[in-house]
Structure 1
Amino acid sequence: MFSRLIALRLCLIYALSFAIVDARQALAQSGGEDAHLAIENPAELSKEEALQIYTSLQKRMAQGYAAAQFEQLRNYQNWPLFNDAPYISATHGQRFVNSYANRMAHNYGTLQEGEKLPTGSVLAKDSMTVTDEGNTHPGALFVMEKLAEGTSPETADWRYIMVMPDGSLFGDTMGDRADNVAYCHDCHEAVADRDYTFFVPEEYVVGN
């Protein structure tokens, strides 16, 4: 329990660093100071409001991420979606996020303690910032890919990728700028008993 609390505290520290990155991205897109304050002031949205905003940004987000040219992320928005509306994730810089998983990750929604996702599973969490001033813009795309056993023992065979809204690569643990996302696994160690994967808050799970 103590080690899990430490890991969760690290997650919040890393979330702050994500917030700084997101704020810089927002400034580049909007040119205004309000966007810089967005992460500190996320809007309080109903599920319907969050869905409406996501729908308005969805196509733009998909086109932006596609510029990264990761084949395993092609048409990710057509994958099974495990939340019924975007929800705020403290560990992703107070962004509103969605949790998608490809068909290989067939047991993502029912994963029990000690079970693992199969090789080839890909989890994609896209994000958007919505401020209480009414500013909205796409955030980063966070990706986990389950590699063949023994490929990356230090990350329990998980590959972590972070793609910025314009398709630029922030980091890839198996490729360029690996150091930028090396901390991702440290955060996910808090849920090692669920194969290092966080799941959707209960009140946002599809069907609840």
Structure 2
Amino acid sequence: MIARHICISGITAAFFVIFSDVSGAFAQTSEQDAHLAIENPADLSKDEAQQHYKSLIRRMARGYAAAQLDLILNYQAWPLFNDAPYISATHGQRYVNSYANRMAHNYGTLQDGEVLPVGSVLAKDSMTVTDEGNVHPGALFVMEKLPSGSSPDTADWRYIMVMPDGSLFGDTMGDRAGAVAYCHVCHEAVADRDYTFYVPEEYRIPK
């Protein structure tokens, strides 16, 4: 079962839609729709989550690379801020990893009121793992910090969502901007941290 998630003013509401094939099903989405959420994610240990990710990592890299976005080239070589994939409710109950490029040097230590430098790029790749044993790549979620005044409606953040096959779901500064407009609505909940969510404490890599 897959749920359609809509984020409104930082509150995520789920509307469940049943599909016959969980592993390959994607619902049609309108510009108001957000992530398609997995209703029955598997409860994995850190080791189990790591094993699944390792089995998919090359396939994910090839798929996202088909988008031909220089912005995310070799993102898996960037600093990683979690010690194992973790479930993210704001990314459809998928297991995610949090990467940041070198420009985002203060992402892990960001305090309320501080901001990331222009050119910072955050990337969350994702995988679906259900309690029925379905395992497959999910979307890649990207944020890029733009120069001041570039996008006032999104606090100068660019949001991009790349599907597992490299197709572009949306880009707030390009094609299908409306399809990912909800991203910033959700991130407004963490405006004090420059609109960025961080890794759950139990998954953070010690500094």
How many Å apart are 1:24 and its aligned residue? 8.3
The residue that corresponds to 2:48 in the other structure is 49
Instruction: Tell me the secondary structure at the aligned position of residue 41 of structure 1.
Output: coil
Q: Match of 1:126, as an amino acid?
A: D
How many Å apart are 1:204 and its aligned residue? 0.2
Q: Match of 2:77, as an amino acid?
A: N
Counterpart Cα distance in 2 of 1:25 and 1:157: 36
Instruction: Tell me the secondary structure at the aligned position of residue 141 of structure 2.
Output: strand
RMSD: 2.3
Q: Match of 1:74, as an amino acid?
A: L
Q: Match of 1:203, as an amino acid?
A: E
Counterpart Cα distance in 1 of 2:37 and 2:101: 31
For the Cα contact (< 8 Å) 1:38–1:131, is it kept in 2? no
Name the structure with the higher helix share: 1
Q: Where does structure 1 lack aligned partners over 5 or more consecutive residues? A: 1-5, 30-36
Instruction: Tell me the secondary structure at the aligned position of residue 117 of structure 2.
Output: coil
Counterpart Cα distance in 1 of 2:116 and 2:161: 20
Instruction: Tell me the secondary structure at the aligned position of residue 99 of structure 2.
Output: strand
The residue that corresponds to 1:7 in the other structure is 9
Quick check: 1:27 aligned with 2:24? yes
Q: Match of 1:8, as an amino acid?
A: G
TM-score (norm 1): 0.86
Q: Match of 2:108, as an amino acid?
A: G
Name the structure with the higher strand share: 2
The residue that corresponds to 1:32 in the other structure is none
For the Cα contact (< 8 Å) 2:37–2:92, is it kept in 1? no
The residue that corresponds to 2:139 in the other structure is 140
Instruction: Tell me the secondary structure at the aligned position of residue 44 of structure 1.
Output: coil
Counterpart Cα distance in 1 of 2:126 and 2:99: 11
Instruction: Tell me the secondary structure at the aligned position of residue 160 of structure 1.
Output: strand
Counterpart Cα distance in 2 of 1:149 and 1:43: 41
For the Cα contact (< 8 Å) 1:125–1:142, is it kept in 2? yes
For the Cα contact (< 8 Å) 2:23–2:135, is it kept in 1? no
Counterpart Cα distance in 1 of 2:59 and 2:104: 26
- How many residue pairs match? The answer is 190
Change (3 A) 1:8 1:92: same
How many Å apart are 1:163 and its aligned residue? 0.3
TM-score (norm 2): 0.86
Counterpart Cα distance in 2 of 1:174 and 1:205: 31
How many Å apart are 1:27 and its aligned residue? 2.2
For the Cα contact (< 8 Å) 2:64–2:140, is it kept in 1? yes
